[in-house]
Amino acid sequence: MRLHGFTLPLDAGLASAEHISGEVVAAYGRQYLVECASGALLACVPRGKKSLLACGDRVSVAPTGPGQGVIDEAAPRTTDFFRSAAHRTKLIAANATQVAVICATDPSFSDELVTRVLVAAEHQGLKALVILNKSDLIDRLEGARERLVPFEQAGYPVIVMSARQDTAPLARALEGEVTVLVGQSGMGKSTLLNALVPEANRATREISTFLASGRHTTSHARLYRTDRAAIIDCPGLQEFGLAHLAWNDIEAGFPEFRPHLGLCRFQDCRHRSEPGCALHAAAANGRIHARRMELFHRIVTAERGNAASR
């Protein structure tokens, strides 16, 4: 089986006479499926007791038998995309260049979760876009579209589409990128992925064979490739913690805030009721959407409460 087409650069320095360079394309616990430059797949475990690898990691593998190996080394990452709760950090993807947040006209989506994902992407310097799927549900489209206006005003591309009808607009946005697909359960992400990567179901079954458990590959991220893109598919999420970010990191994660940061009357302004707040002035004249201000305060309040409980 060959999952590749669009080829990501592998670090030649990782390979040696006894080692093979490759890329992690599936993970569960301490089991990793590594795709070699040749297209061969190796079921691998890391050397040592601790490991923190993810789809997209470029690694050096020492073969230990037919179709098996040990990961000895990982190349430095350009980005690492993760979420974190009070006592746990979950690495989602390595070396991604873009994040696409999948929403839908039905069921309803959480614009706070969308915001949290975008803040995490901003913190890593990743490109980001928002997808509104199931546009064929006409009676729900207008309301869902309206809820995404604050993100468009903040500068994020919003692609309105139906995975069952036409994925071409999204396919164009993914070209040349390593994109992490993130969304709540029920947004139609699996339908969308199967439309973009028709062999995804077959690939999932074959990955399951390598990792010896089908459930392993349905609950963790997997990397697929098309001729022009790489896609890291994540399980459906119901929450996205930002415990790894400080208050000012979250503040900077709202791109429309940045032109106004440092312009408040008080250096320690928290952008609530302080006089001379530059962000409130920008919101009053429409340069910052009121909903984005509301979401910012909800997130920093929640994360501060989580920090206090630790």
Numbers of helices and strands, H then E, in the chain = 10, 13
Distances (CA, A) of 117 to 92, 179, 256, 270, 301: 11, 13, 16, 22, 17
C-alpha 80/C-alpha 51 separation (Å) is 15
In this structure, CATH architecture of domain 247-309: Orthogonal Bundle (1.10)
Per-residue pLDDT averaged across 228-251, rounded?
Answer: 94
Domain segments of the chain as ranges = 12-74, 80-233, 247-309
C-alpha 32/C-alpha 187 separation (Å) is 27
Q: Give the residue carrying structure tokens 């208050």.
A: 247
Cα angle, residue 96 at apex, residues 108 and 239 outer, rounded to 5°: 30
Give the pLDDT confidence score for residue 72 in this predicted structure.
93
Neighbours of 73 (CB within 10 A): 17
Distances (CA, A) of 243 to 59, 116, 273, 275, 294: 28, 11, 25, 29, 19
Domain 80-233 of CATH type 3.10.100.10: no
C-alpha 207/C-alpha 33 separation (Å) is 7
pLDDT digits (tens, 9 = 90+) for 144-154: 999 999 999 99
Per-residue pLDDT averaged across 138-144, rounded?
Answer: 97
**Assigned fold of 12-74:** OB fold (Dihydrolipoamide Acetyltransferase, E2P) (2.40.50)
pLDDT digits (tens, 9 = 90+) for 48-98: 877 789 999 999 999 999 999 999 999 999 999 999 987 788 899 999 999
Which residues are within 8 A (CB) of 25 and not within 5 positions of it... i.e. 6 or more apart? 3, 33, 34, 35, 41, 55, 207, 222, 223, 224
C-alpha 85/C-alpha 189 separation (Å) is 24
Give the pLDDT confidence score for residue 3 in this predicted structure.
41
pLDDT digits (tens, 9 = 90+) for 10-39: 444 455 558 899 999 998 878 899 999 888
Q: Is the pLDDT of residue 253 over 70?
A: yes
Give the pLDDT confidence score for residue 11 in this predicted structure.
47
Model-level pTM greater than 0.75?
yes
Per-residue pLDDT averaged across 106-110, rounded?
Answer: 95
Q: Is 58 helix (H, G, I), strand (E, B) or coil?
A: strand
Tell whether omega for the bond before 107 is within 30 degrees of 0, i.e. cis: yes
To which H or E segment does residue 43 belong? Answer: strand 41-46
Give the pLDDT confidence score for residue 44 in this predicted structure.
94
C-alpha 117/C-alpha 177 separation (Å) is 18
pLDDT band at 208 (very low <50, low <70, confident <90, very high): low
Highest mean pLDDT among 119-128, 200-209, 219-228: 119-128
Query: Residue 191 is encoded by which pair of tokens?
Result: 């339908």
Q: What percent of the chain has pLDDT over 70?
A: 86
| Amino acid letter for position 42 | L
